[in-house]
Structure 1
Amino acid sequence: MSDALLNALAEALARLVTAVETSDEEVLDPDTAVKWLEHTGHVLAGLDAADRRALDALFREAALREPPGPWREELLKVSAGFGLDEDTHLTTVDAVADHARRYAATVRGNDPATPVPTCPGWNLGDLTRHLGTVHGWAEHLVTARPATRVRAGDLPLDPPADPAAYPDWFAARAEGFAGAARAADPEAPVWSPGADPHVRHYPRHVLAETLVHLADAEIALTGTARPLDPDTAADALDHFLTTAPYVPWIAEPLAHLDRDGAVLRLSARDSGAVWTLVLGGGGFAWSRGSGDTEPTADVTADAGELLLLLHRRYGADDPRFTLTGDRDLLDDWLAAGRL
């Protein structure tokens, strides 16, 4: 693709986005504008870091070709609006570190024998050992960058003999992963259990694990999980839906649901984010945004609650969730997607 064509496409997209952003409500319905821009943002979020930087530069060059004034200023906001000027890899690593510290503070000083009802058969010590193993395993992967699968059980992660010492051991493993991930090139190739065999996969993977297991610990100790940041939870939900087709014990049951054409919509009331899941073809396809298809079932809750629903940490009957449409579709999905 020529530079001229790239510049033209970037300028056209920047102008279109700015026109949508600045349209009067009488010209363009605000809900429609949000739906259009949300879908565009999700597509752009899937670009790797190098392409995001390149598109950021193209948007800025297009803006600076305009004469000074309000239109140029609006064009200059396009990159920021889509987060193209952010280092998403480091932002995710920071989120992992923050939630790992929150996890360590939550479990430290509590009885490791405390049952974890959302992980039947596990206690708090088991949960902490597992999550520390995830962080240590991921640290090895982003550092050594193997081309083939490495099992956590094959690594010398050295958990202490006394479960009471697990929180400090976990904290050390989490710090090790965060440091290694910050130092690593997010574009570097490495084996991964999902769709993205690059280092950038692992902060998202570890963040999702940490969010869910933090909720497990909070539920075990207090009966409920504290709210999650909507954008952080949404990214973890994106990651789950992207990775699920590569997880055999999720993908295979979903492939046999016999609900081809059914549409499950997840709506986040705290951020307005929407996920549309269409079953069929031996699995499912998903996209951000409400799309044009009427959902078979729609579930509304905060983004963090939707994440925990898909991980079966909350039941669909919990009053946090508002369901319209075919309840059987949601039940079938949750039964097939059991982790």
Structure 2
Amino acid sequence: MDRLEYADAVAAQITRMADAIRGHDLARPVPTCPGWSLRDLVEHTGSTHRRAAVVAGEARQERLDRASIDLGLPSDDAGYADWFAAGAEPLRKGLLAHDPSTVVWTWSGPRPVVWWARRQLCENAVHGADAAIALGHTPQIDEAVAADGVSELLDNLPYADWKPRDLTGDGERLSWQSDTGVGFLVTLYPDGYTYEPSAMPGEVTVRTSTAADILLLMWGRRGYGDYSVEGDAALLKRWADNSTM
């Protein structure tokens, strides 16, 4: 996907998520985000959109904390769906405001502004799934978006330094394979890991129905006990324990 496709897709996602939460009790717990209510999820995701809009739109070179942004949160729960939806167009405009090669601040280091377009689409896909699960629905994630989301997570995981992580090894391979043909092979090395789209099995192989299943597994939204796991379960557990965002 190019930057325009990312920007259009995330704007559409935001509108769908706003429609999904409209009229629901925002005190409802979100099982996939322990301790969060639906209101917390909406505030977090909507504030992330607004931060990304500022960083991308102003080509910020320094870190921008969400706490420094006037979010304009609604005074009561009835306004949250509209507030969430209102973040779509400013985000879209911000993501398209500069040449896609323009370098800006990101939490994984200076990156072209297109990083934010991809990050917002993938983040909103996962949080949209969180909302769907909280509302008792089956998450609906486009297969191409899900596959890109897995790659995006693996690209950025080494920079997610807000918890200790051990993503190293001695050549062990972990494989995730879906019935739709999307597959990933991660190889662990003493100084980190590499990954590639691949149908190859590993020392441990996880088999799922869809790429969306792989994305939700890697984000800790689903448990491996619900899927076919072949091989070294201890290796898979070590990866899961250290890769959860």
Q: TM-score range by the shorter chain?
A: over 0.9
Quick one: distance in 1 between partners of 2:131 and 2:66? 22
Higher strand proportion (structure 1 or 2): 2
Equivalent position of 2:125 in the other structure: 211
Of the candidates 202, 223, 239, which is equivalent to residue 295 of structure 1?
202
The secondary structure found in structure 1 opposite 2:9 is helix
Quick one: distance in 2 between partners of 1:197 and 1:310? 23
Q: Percent identity?
A: 34
Of the candidates 299, 309, 313, which is equivalent to residue 221 of structure 2?
313
Quick one: distance in 1 between partners of 2:138 and 2:154? 22
Following superposition, the deviation at residue 216 of structure 1 comes to: 0.5
Runs of 4+ in 1 over 4 A off after TM superposition: none
| 1:279 maps onto 2:184 in alignment | no
Q: How does 1:11-90 map to 2 (within 5 A)?
A: 88-90=2-4
Of the candidates 132, 139, 144, which is equivalent to residue 226 of structure 1?
139
Higher Rg of the two aligned structures? 1
| 1:266 maps onto 2:180 in alignment | no
Following superposition, the deviation at residue 196 of structure 1 comes to: 6.0
Of the candidates 43, 57, 69, which is equivalent to residue 143 of structure 1?
57
Of the candidates 21, 36, 45, which is equivalent to residue 107 of structure 1?
21
Following superposition, the deviation at residue 182 of structure 1 comes to: 2.9
Quick one: distance in 2 between partners of 1:243 and 1:196? 12
Segments of 5+ residues of structure 1 without an aligned counterpart are 1-86
| 1:133 maps onto 2:43 in alignment | no
RMSD of aligned alpha carbons: 1.7
Following superposition, the deviation at residue 98 of structure 1 comes to: 1.7
Following superposition, the deviation at residue 299 of structure 1 comes to: 1.1
Quick one: distance in 2 between partners of 1:109 and 1:196? 40
Following superposition, the deviation at residue 219 of structure 1 comes to: 0.5
The secondary structure found in structure 2 opposite 1:248 is coil
Deviations along 1:147-179, whole A, 9 cap, x unmatched?
121111111122123233221111111221012
Q: Conserved in 2, the CA contact under 8 Å of 1:92 and 1:207?
A: yes
Q: Conserved in 2, the CA contact under 8 Å of 1:188 and 1:198?
A: yes
Segments of 5+ residues of structure 2 without an aligned counterpart are none
Q: How many residues align?
A: 244
Q: For 1:90, give the aligned amino acid.
A: L
Quick one: distance in 2 between partners of 1:277 and 1:163? 43
With the length of structure 2 as denominator, give the TM-score of the two structures: 0.93
Of the candidates 52, 55, 70, which is equivalent to residue 156 of structure 1?
70
Equivalent position of 2:243 in the other structure: 337
Q: For 1:309, give the aligned amino acid.
A: L
Q: Conserved in 2, the CA contact under 8 Å of 1:277 and 1:285?
A: yes
Following superposition, the deviation at residue 195 of structure 1 comes to: 5.8
Higher relative contact order (CA 8 A, sep 6+): 2
Q: For 2:7, give the aligned amino acid.
A: V
Equivalent position of 2:98 in the other structure: 184
Higher helix proportion (structure 1 or 2): 1
With the length of structure 1 as denominator, give the TM-score of the two structures: 0.68
The secondary structure found in structure 1 opposite 2:80 is helix
Q: Conserved in 2, the CA contact under 8 Å of 1:264 and 1:278?
A: yes
Q: Conserved in 2, the CA contact under 8 Å of 1:132 and 1:174?
A: no
Equivalent position of 2:165 in the other structure: 253
Deviations along 1:246-297, whole A, 9 cap, x unmatched?
11136x4224x6x432100111222x12211111224221122246xx5111
